[in-house]
Structure formats: structure tokens, C-alpha cells
Amino acid sequence: MIFPLVFDIGRASGEDGPGLRTVVFLKGCPLRCLWCQNPESQNSDKEMLFTRDLCIKCGNCDTECYSLARQTVGQYYPPVKLAEMILRDEVFYKKSGGGVTFSGGEPLLYIEYIRDTILCFHSIHVHTAIETCGIFDFNSLEENLLSKIDLFLFDIKTIDPILHEKWTGKTNYKIIENFKKLVETGKEILPRIPLIPGYTASEENLIQIAHFLKKMGIKKFELLPYNPSGVEKWEKIGKSPPANLSKKPLNQVEFSRWRDFFLISLESNKYNE
Ligand code: SF4
């Protein structure tokens, strides 16, 4: 089994599945999306985050950083410990219909670890979701974890394999194949489409995605407005953010325009086959 590092645990999130959720972020991702909001999630090893504004220049960097300007990202928890931390929020799950979401990075790099964590819930029922970029070993998922997951939040960035490689470092052949296989299992899937200005937020791209989802018989989806919070994080891990990345979030007017455009594309008869 490959043991992941956890780089964050979000509590009471209302964005990553139904109800209030505990979101476990695992380090390591096969993609390198130019707009990644969590660039510290890409590498599976421990990393140092440096927040320049917090540094008081005391010179104690080698011992302990009391101002928290330097922070190590990535903590290992055995499955039983992680399960215990997740179950601390059980009361919120019951009241809100929530549960746990495994995110990243790419959580399905760690299929057996997630399975073992869920097994530690024993008889306590917790709604489980996986947020995936779509690159994973489908056979291993089917064999070890599929039956234990209630919902897949599945990122679809583009249908075009060349653009996918340009934007993320890898083509999307595996992603499309895994998406189709997952649809065939009858599991609940919520495709999530990030709206990134200058990249995915284009008419051509959204028309192609709408066409694909329609062919797959998908009725529910989510559009994710661009959030530039990742830009600052690139600097914290000592790297330059991609040059064309906007520092402004997608505003409500722009978001509504793209949402309406996407809905019209889904309803359009142009692609009926
Ligand atoms: S799939 Fe997600 S975590 Fe991985 S590089 Fe892309 S945006 Fe970042």
C-alpha cells in the first residue's frame, strides 16, 4: 500500500458534496494544471511553505519558526487515526446529510489507504465522496473501493486531448475512458467543470463538454468559478505562478453568462445523434 501525506483537513465544507463535509486533502497528483488552486498538493513529498509577510527575520529558521512564516506541509496519519479525526464531525453529518470527501491532489492514487480508512468507520454510516481528476487505476478502484463510495466528483477540464496536455501536462484519454467506465457502474457522478479565464472558459470548450455529457446521459453537473487563491501559494512554495494566470476571480456576471451558455449548449439539438 502507498501511504499518502495529508496536507489539509477542511471542516464543515459546503462545497464538496451534499451537506456539511470533512474534506481530506491528500498530497500527490499526476496532473500539473496551470491554474491549480493547491500547487502544494501536486508533489507527494513534504514541502515547506514560506509566507514572506509573516517573517520577522529572527534568524531561527533552522530550529523553529515561531511566527509560522515557515510551515511544513504534509502529515502522515495511519488509517485508524484519520478515521478517528473524520468521525469527530459525525454529529454534523447526521444533522446536515453530509459526510467525508477525499480530495487532493488525486486521492485515487491511494485507493487502498482510503479503503482502510473507511473500514475503520466500522458500523458508523458516513456518506463518502471522492474528488478526482480522472487518472486512476480503474481495476483497483473496482476491486477495492467502488462499493464504499457514494459519490464521485469528477473533473472535466476539456474534451480536446491536445489542449488537455498543454494545460495539465497529460492527455485526457485515460480520464475519458475512466469516466465512461464509471458511468457504466451506475454510481452517482457529478462532473465538475472549472471555468478558467483564458483556458477552459471558452465557448468551443464548453460546447464540447456539453456534447460529451449529453452523450453520456449525464443530467447533473457543476461549474466551478475560477478562484485565484493558488497564485499566492505558488510563491509560498518558491515557484513562479504560470504567466497568464488571472489574479481576479470570475465575477458573478461572468459566471452566470458561462452557466447560461453551458445550459443552452446542453439543450441544443445541434449535437443530438
Ligand atoms: S488535478 Fe487538481 S490538484 Fe491536480 S494539478 Fe490539477 S488542479 Fe491541481
Domains belonging to the chain, first-starting first, are 6-46+74-271 (3.20.20.70)
**Cα 34 to ligand 1 centroid, rounded to whole Å:** 9
> Would you tell me how many other CB atoms lie within 10 Å of the CB of residue 107?
25
> Would you tell me how many other CB atoms lie within 10 Å of the CB of residue 20?
18
Q: Is 239 in the pocket of ligand 1 (CB under 6 A)?
A: no
> Contact at 8 Å (CB) between 195 and 250?
yes
pLDDT of residue 269: 59
**Cα 64 to ligand 1 centroid, rounded to whole Å:** 31
Q: Is 108 in the pocket of ligand 1 (CB under 6 A)?
A: no
Q: H/E element holding 12?
A: strand 6-13
Helices and strands counted in the chain (H then E): 9, 9
Residues of the chain with pLDDT under 70: 269-273
Task: Identify any residues that bridge with 9 across adjacent strands, giving them in sequence order.
Answer: 24
Q: Is 191 in the pocket of ligand 1 (CB under 6 A)?
A: no
Q: What is the total residue count of the chain?
A: 273
| Residue in 220, 208, 214, 221 with CA at minimum distance from that of residue 172 | 208
pTM above 0.85, yes or no: yes
Task: Identify any residues that bridge with 58 across adjacent strands, giving them in sequence order.
Answer: none
**Cα 239 to ligand 1 centroid, rounded to whole Å:** 16
pLDDT of residue 62: 78
pLDDT of residue 270: 58
Q: Is 29 in the pocket of ligand 1 (CB under 6 A)?
A: yes
Instruction: Determine how β-strand 21-26 pairs with β-strand 6-13.
Output: antiparallel
| 149/146 Cα distance (integer angstroms) | 6
Q: Is 125 in the pocket of ligand 1 (CB under 6 A)?
A: no
Q: How many CA atoms lie within 13 A of 33 on its CB side?
A: 26
| Residue in 122, 141, 119 with CA at minimum distance from that of residue 132 | 141
| 167/142 Cα distance (integer angstroms) | 29
